[in-house]
Amino acid sequence: MFEEARFATVNVEEIAAEAQISTRTFYRYFATKEDVLQVRIRREAESLREALEQRPVGEPPLHSLRYRRRAAISAEDPALHKRWIAVVAATPTALRAVLGGCILTLNGMLAEFFGSRLNVPADALVPTMLAAAAAGVIRAAEMRWVVVRRESRNDHFGEPQGPGGRRGHGSRYPGQGQSRGNNK
């Protein structure tokens, strides 16, 4: 529905009619139409929370996170995810709502996970910073992988390739990881 008509032009009455519910029922669950887009974020955060709880306690937290996100992205419908991102990206109010939801929902859940693994409160500086950094990396990787490179299943989530296609050796960027001559 949001693809056919821009998100900004669709009203709550049209959303309710498409969902075959009353407008009153819509407002019982959502304060605004932008809140509809938050459902995906809440589901993603809850699914990630459940999956992370299943990972071994002794496993490094970032390894657990990487493993679960990789599995989740691989299981998603890439066309649907790409369409959702396109709707959000094309609508400034939706973009603000989704980014806000990501920060509040996903970062909060990640801070709880990191805090539990590090045996510190979730609102301590380190889990909060790790959560923000991890969420940023997740979003950047999803955008790159889902939107730009989904066609290529050879893109290794979080494993950069160096010269000659070797993972973890050198750098993709010119001038990095290479000798610059004699530094005596």
- pLDDT tens track for 134-166: 888 877 777 776 556 544 444 444 444 444 444
Specify the range with the lowest mean pLDDT, choosing from 6-15, 44-53, 68-77, 161-170.
161-170
Is 118:56 a contact under the CB 8 Å cutoff?
no
| pLDDT for the residue numbered 149 | 52
Q: Who has greater pLDDT, 70 or 145?
A: 70
Who's near 76: CB < 8 A, 6+ residues apart? 146
CATH 3.40.50, domain 33-153, yes or no: no
pLDDT at 21 over 70: yes
Amino acid of residue 145: W
Q: Who has greater pLDDT, 132 or 102?
A: 132
Who's near 176: CB < 8 A, 6+ residues apart? 170
pTM score over 0.75: no
Provide the mean pLDDT of the chain. Answer: 76
Tokens 């657990």 belong to residue: 64
